[in-house]
Amino acid sequence: MTGITDAELKQQIIKTADAAKAAGQWVEINDMLPTLTIYRGPDDEYFYQEWEALEVVNEYEELADRLVLDVEDVILWAAQGW
């Protein structure tokens, strides 16, 4: 049994992130504080700050770099399952 290829995963992430953005969802990373906000709708928002924000961003940054995607899109894709 074979797994999903990087190209297939990249397309899945792009499609999911684009659909989420079209529905009004967004991700904001502020490197200065640092903070991370993931907005999925009214009363459905995740907010991380300091080490927690860095931990979440770092968790998805490697995948984003490997697939040549914005880390915000990868986080938004992942957040659909939270």
For residue 26, the model assigns a pLDDT of 98
Give the pLDDT band of residue 1 (cuts 50, 70, 90): low
Give the number of domains in the chain. Answer: 1
List, for residues 13-43, the tens digit of each pLDDT value: 999 999 999 999 999 999 999 999 999 999 9
Structure tokens at 21: 């953005």
Which domain covers residue 63, as residue numbers? 24-79
For the chain, the average pLDDT equals: 96
Helix (H, G, I), strand (E, B) or coil at 79: helix
Do the domain assignments include residue 12? no
| DSSP conformation letters of 7-54 | HHHHHHHHHHHHHHHHTT-EEEEETTTTEEEEEEETTEEEEEETHHHH
Do the domain assignments include residue 18? no
Return the C-alpha torsion angle 67, 69, 70, 71, nearest 10.
-20
The pTM assigned to this predicted structure is 0.92
Do the domain assignments include residue 19? no
pLDDT > 70: percent of the chain: 99
Do the domain assignments include residue 70? yes
Do the domain assignments include residue 48? yes
Do the domain assignments include residue 60? yes
pLDDT of 4 above 70: yes
